[in-house]
Structure 1
Amino acid sequence: MITDKYLYYKCTNNNLPGKIIVPFLVQVETKNWEPLKKIPDLKIFSKMGKILACTGSLDSIRSLEQDPRVIKIEASK
């Protein structure tokens, strides 16, 4: 499992109040992937095969990292 370190920076290095929601891409093992449990703040906007275009918070990213079927999480730049 690989997580883009830029996502951690984007979610934590700012002076804004409240949760920071960032766009990112998720690569999963199968085309029919669904979360094992509810993932906080995660919104999936589109799926193209095994790639998901999402937004979410640091909590979302940490939850996705716990799913063994998630291969990669990358900042959407």
Structure 2
Amino acid sequence: MAKNKFQDVAFQSVDDFLAYLPEDELQIVEFLRRLVFYCLPNCTEKLAYNVPYYWVNKSICFIWPASVKWGKQVTYQE
């Protein structure tokens, strides 16, 4: 998958995405993933916009950590 004009990264899988994250964000993302799968055991996970995306019969949510930016504008404080 080629990088797009809004992002500096292009992950091939959720595992690639997880390997990219710093440890503090990885812990949060793993917790949120477990919560999604616990609450919605039949949901589907895939990458969309280089972040995990979940749906059952309709869109549920994205998990979008701060280290995966969209565009050049920083939307969080470091």
Band of TM-score, shorter chain: under 0.3
| Structure with higher RCO (Cα < 8 A, 6+ apart) | 1
Greater radius of gyration (CA): 2
Greater per-residue helix proportion: 2
TM-score (norm 1): 0.25
